[in-house]
Amino acid sequence: MTTSVLDQLHLSSDHLRAANASVTQPNYDRTRLQTGIVHLGLGAFHRAHQALYTEKVISEGDLRWGILGVSLRDPRVPDVLTAQDNLYSVTERHGDEARTRVVASLRGALFAPRDLARVIAAIADPSVSIVSSTVTEKGYSQNPASADLDMDDADVRHDIAHPEAPRTTLGVLAAGIRLRPDSSPLTLVCCDNMAGNGDTLRKLLVQYAGQFDPKLARRIETEIGCPNSMVDRIVPAATPASLDWAAARLGLRDEAAIVCEPFTQWVIEDRFASPRPAWEDAGALLTSDVRPYQAMKLRLLNGTHSALAYAGQLCGMETVADAMADPLVGAFARRLMLEDLRATVAAPSGYDVTSYCHDLLKRFENPTLQHRTQQIAMDGTQKIPVRWLPALRESLAAGVERPLLERALASWLHYLATGRSDSGAALVISDPGAEALASLLRQTGNDVDAAHAALAHGPVFGAQPWPHAFVERLALHLSTLRQGGMKTLLAP
């Protein structure tokens, strides 16, 4: 791209007027923007969430908070962004309504394996006071069941042996922090969908650093801020169709264009060890305890999302909106959320959880978001222990059955075991932890043994045994799925 997105947007303003589109453009002098934030994980979610809150803070005149974005695994996003002067558009869309904003808060986009020295130097720079992250649940090298650092992970072992040439998120963070001058305050803001995400990040980082530098581990434990945060916005991965739609709307090709829902929420614990952007002025809620918000969102939104994803995959439904529109799958998702999951959630103070659920269901129905069930189905061995299993454990311990949630769990196991939709189409399963669990399910001769074998898989289901009656119910669902598929399992 020879002219920047910004220039092209100016050039195409007639087109935008003709299309009656509202496009908000940066109102500040980008050349005066400083880098105050390093962000790890440059996916669409960060660019449509934290980068947008930060954009609004910068627009209010606080130019300290430009973001240096870092991709750890994939050079494509940094390459595309660099070619566009790190500018991109975000369009919030529901039905006929659409609003676009050009985001200029990114000051650079690096690919860690290629630009490692620059990434580490940026984290070490005292003028950076926030390092935030969206690297997905599996990006923190955590064993999901023990919740500790995964010492069996080859990359973790590599980084412990070579802390100055890290490959992992923890390794990159520790390498930068190690080089930061004493008394240069820093806060890490973990924005991934994990319960107690900030506490978890701190614990894992301390465990990691403790392997080779106890002084660094102490420093991380005592000096660095790690607030928990709850992030929410549905941001589907871009598709050729969404890029074409954005191009038609903008009158130019933005290869990093994002089309997402209008809803956005960010709740952050006010436990910063360093200066921070006034994100509350951009709509974030700063609070003393984020855990009730996290549990509500992870169980109700993400928990139902995962159920829609596996049911949708098995029934050949491409998007969440398709699955919601199906009489059986849509009704299953509604009841799972409003009955089984809702019953396990304590409302954050002043919250009406039932109306939160109804809003969520409308968000899932958004017909203009192409949110693919295959995308949400990814990494189930990391997501299910966060989204479903705590609710299930608590309920079973109290002697309560959760029939919808138990069906959802069976559908995930069946999806892993067969790798096929109910009509026989091969499914793409993207989850490094899946095969170990799937092979246990496939090796066993009958459904009771299969259910036992799966639930004994510690990395996902933990070490504590599951009640026998529950195992039998799960086996019955597996057998229904094998014989009649998902629709039979959900039939009234």
Taking alpha carbons only, the member of 60, 23, 29, 42 closest to residue 106 is: 42
Instruction: Output 232 or 406, the one with its CB closest to ligand CS2.
Output: 232
Three-state secondary-structure class, residue 42: coil
Per-residue interface string for the shown chain with ligand CS2, residues 410-449, x marking contact by CB under 6 A: ----------------------------------------
Q: Please classify residue 2 by burial: count the beta carbons closer than 10 Å to its beta carbon, then call 0-12 exposed, 13-18 middle and 19+ buried.
A: exposed
Instruction: Output 9 or 260, the one with its CB closest to ligand CS2.
Output: 260
C-beta atoms surrounding 304 within 10 Å: 28
Taking alpha carbons only, the member of 67, 77, 63, 65 closest to residue 29 is: 63
Instruction: Output 233 or 402, the one with its CB closest to ligand CS2.
Output: 233
Spatial distance between the Cα atoms of 337 and 296, rounded to a whole number of angstroms: 11
Q: Which helix (H) or strand (E) holds 399?
A: none
Instruction: Output 208 or 293, the one with its CB closest to ligand CS2.
Output: 293
In the complex, the smallest distance separating the C-beta of residue 398 from ligand CS2, rounded to whole angstroms, is 26
Query: Is residue 288 a contact partner of residue 394, using CB atoms and an 8 Å limit?
Result: no
Per-residue interface string for the shown chain with ligand CS2, residues 282-301, x marking contact by CB under 6 A: -------------------x
Which one among 302, 344, 411, 479 touches ligand CS2, defined by CB under 6 A? 302
Residue in the shown chain whose Cβ atom is closest to ligand CS2: 305
By CB under 6 A, is residue 376 in contact with ligand CS2?
Answer: yes
- Pick the stretch among 4-12, 181-189, 226-234, 413-421 that binds ligand CS2 (CB under 6 A): 226-234
In the complex, the smallest distance separating the C-beta of residue 15 from ligand CS2, rounded to whole angstroms, is 31
Contact set for ligand CS2, span 14-73 (CB under 6 A): none
Where b means 16+ CB within 10 Å and e means fewer, 322-337 reads bbbebebbbebbbebb
Which one among 185, 375, 431, 444 touches ligand CS2, defined by CB under 6 A? 375
Locus of tokens 């069906």: 407
Per-residue interface string for the shown chain with ligand CS2, residues 323-362, x marking contact by CB under 6 A: ----------------------------------------
In the complex, the smallest distance separating the C-beta of residue 264 from ligand CS2, rounded to whole angstroms, is 9
Contact set for ligand CS2, span 237-256 (CB under 6 A): none
In the complex, the smallest distance separating the C-beta of residue 234 from ligand CS2, rounded to whole angstroms, is 4
Locus of tokens 């109700």: 300
The identity of residue 454, as a single letter, is A
In the complex, the smallest distance separating the C-beta of residue 305 from ligand CS2, rounded to whole angstroms, is 4
In the complex, the smallest distance separating the C-beta of residue 302 from ligand CS2, rounded to whole angstroms, is 4
Three-state secondary-structure class, residue 351: coil
Instruction: Output 139 or 163, the one with its CB closest to ligand CS2.
Output: 139
Largest CA distance in the chain: 67
Instruction: Output 296 or 486, the one with its CB closest to ligand CS2.
Output: 296
Taking alpha carbons only, the member of 2, 68, 84, 11 closest to residue 34 is: 68
Query: Is residue 268 a contact partner of residue 286, using CB atoms and an 8 Å limit?
Result: yes
Spatial distance between the Cα atoms of 319 and 241, rounded to a whole number of angstroms: 14
The site for ligand CS2, by CB under 6 A, has a size of: 10
- Pick the stretch among 228-236, 268-276, 339-347, 390-398 that binds ligand CS2 (CB under 6 A): 228-236
Which one among 159, 232, 322, 406 touches ligand CS2, defined by CB under 6 A? 232
Q: Please classify residue 344 by burial: count the beta carbons closer than 10 Å to its beta carbon, then call 0-12 exposed, 13-18 middle and 19+ buried.
A: buried
In the complex, the smallest distance separating the C-beta of residue 72 from ligand CS2, rounded to whole angstroms, is 18
Per-residue interface string for the shown chain with ligand CS2, residues 179-218, x marking contact by CB under 6 A: --------------x-------------------------
Spatial distance between the Cα atoms of 270 and 349, rounded to a whole number of angstroms: 17
In the complex, the smallest distance separating the C-beta of residue 364 from ligand CS2, rounded to whole angstroms, is 10
Taking alpha carbons only, the member of 274, 260, 234 closest to residue 93 is: 260
In the complex, the smallest distance separating the C-beta of residue 232 from ligand CS2, rounded to whole angstroms, is 4
In the complex, the smallest distance separating the C-beta of residue 301 from ligand CS2, rounded to whole angstroms, is 6
Which one among 191, 234, 404, 410 touches ligand CS2, defined by CB under 6 A? 234
Taking alpha carbons only, the member of 137, 117, 234, 135 closest to residue 179 is: 117
Query: Is residue 99 a contact partner of residue 22, using CB atoms and an 8 Å limit?
Result: yes
Instruction: Output 318 or 449, the one with its CB closest to ligand CS2.
Output: 318
Which one among 233, 249, 402, 477 touches ligand CS2, defined by CB under 6 A? 233
Where b means 16+ CB within 10 Å and e means fewer, 182-221 reads eeeebbbbbbbbbbbbbbbbbbbbbbbbbbebeebbebbe
Tell me which residues touch ligand CS2 (CB under 6 A).
Answer: 193, 232-234, 301-302, 305, 375-376, 383
